[in-house]
Amino acid sequence: MTARPRQRSRPAARAEAILASAVFTAIAALLVIADFLDQPFYLKLLTRALVLALAALALDLAVGIAGLVSLGHAAFLGVGAYVIGISAEHGMTNGWVQWPLAVAAAASAALVVGGLSLRTRGVQFIMITLAFGQMFFYLANSLSRYGGDDGLTIWTRSQFGTWLSLSDRRTLAWLSLSILLAAYLFLRKLRWSRFGRVLRAAKENERRMAALGFAVGRFRLVAFVISGALTGLAGVLLANLTEFVAPAYLSWHRSGELLAMVVLGGLGTLHGAVLGAFVFVLLEEVLARLTTHWALLFGPFLVLVVLAGRGGLVGLVQRIDAPR
């Protein structure tokens, strides 16, 4: 007889919903202010944060919920971006074709990587995902037809017709926010579904879940593929935003940055990944103006937040709001 999964308390669920609503409301307000003040630089910066927040949100599914620490997730970001760049290079700019193809390619890559990596556990899993990520990185470097190490310029953004023009920076910004919100709502529903409860329970005690008859490996593989597909979608948006794609998009440094965003916001919280991505991007912009070695300042900040909050920024907020 299986134990009944523990449900969220109503106060905890309400607090989570309030904080998530506050995060997305603040993001929307920043977009409105940047647009109202006619600041294209800040609008582009916020759009970049939205794109990376989507990638961090996808990674949080794998790391925070399924317990799969991946150091190769930037590979899926790059796969999505390169599909856009390569298809545009050959004259295919129809977004209705480009975007599903890019997401499918990222999901297929995640299926292969996950299918092989999930045969291992712990540090071995981390190292294998890192190795796969570097394989994709060097593959992108070898594509001399598409710029190689110099990258590939995208001359035309994805086309969806006159009613949805990505050439307008405002349209791209609000589309990115809409996709991020939809992904968050989907993953939030997934986390508290039976599928998500199995993932979280297996993260705590894999042997017990296997003894109860759950095919833990299959659940984790599906979660990894969903995570890879959403990361590929972030790559699609990133390629359209920068109008450029390069092997650097697939490097392990980018994977490390995504992981830092998730940890900074709070593992397994989803909205924490979004918050962590925005804080990371904004801090990077501010600290980079002070010194080229901005990471030396960001590292101690990340450690202090994690230690003080015991759950990233979300944990810090919860501790502040907790009754004395």
For residue range 48-62, list pLDDT tens digits in order. Answer: 999 999 999 999 999
Band of pLDDT at residue 3, cut at 50, 70 and 90: very low
Residue 314: band (very low, low, confident or very high) from pLDDT cuts 50, 70, 90: confident
SS3 state at 88: helix
| pLDDT category of residue 270 using cuts at 50, 70 and 90 | very high
Q: pLDDT of 18-43, one tens digit each? A: 888 999 999 999 999 998 988 899 99
**Mind spelling out the 3-state secondary structure of 172-183?**
HHHHHHHHHHHH
- Taking CA atoms, 310 is separated from 55, 191, 235, 306, in Å, by 23, 21, 31, 5
Predicted confidence (pLDDT) at residue 145 exceeds the cutoff of 60: yes
What is d(CA 244, CA 58) in angstroms, rounded to the nearest whole number?
22
User: Where do the domains of the chain lie?
Assistant: 10-321
- pLDDT tens by residue, 89-133: 999 999 999 999 999 999 999 999 999 999 988 899 999 999 999
Q: What is the DSSP string of 150-218?
A: G-EE-SS--B--TTSBTTSHHHHHHHHHHHHHHHHHHHHHHHTSHHHHHHHHHHH-HHHHHHTT--HHH
Write down the residue that tokens 């109503």 correspond to.
10
Instruction: Give the pLDDT confidence of 198-247 residue by residue, as tens digits.
Output: 999 999 888 888 888 888 999 999 999 999 999 999 999 999 999 999 99
Mean pLDDT over all residues of the chain?
Answer: 89
Q: What percent of the chain has pLDDT over 70?
A: 94
Band of pLDDT at residue 10, cut at 50, 70 and 90: low
| pLDDT at residue 5 tops 80 | no
What is 10-321's CATH topology? Answer: ABC transporter involved in vitamin B12 uptake, BtuC (1.10.3470)
Mean pLDDT of 163-185: 93
Q: 244-245 and 152-153 as β-strands: parallel, antiparallel, unpaired? A: antiparallel
Average pLDDT on 262-285 reads 92
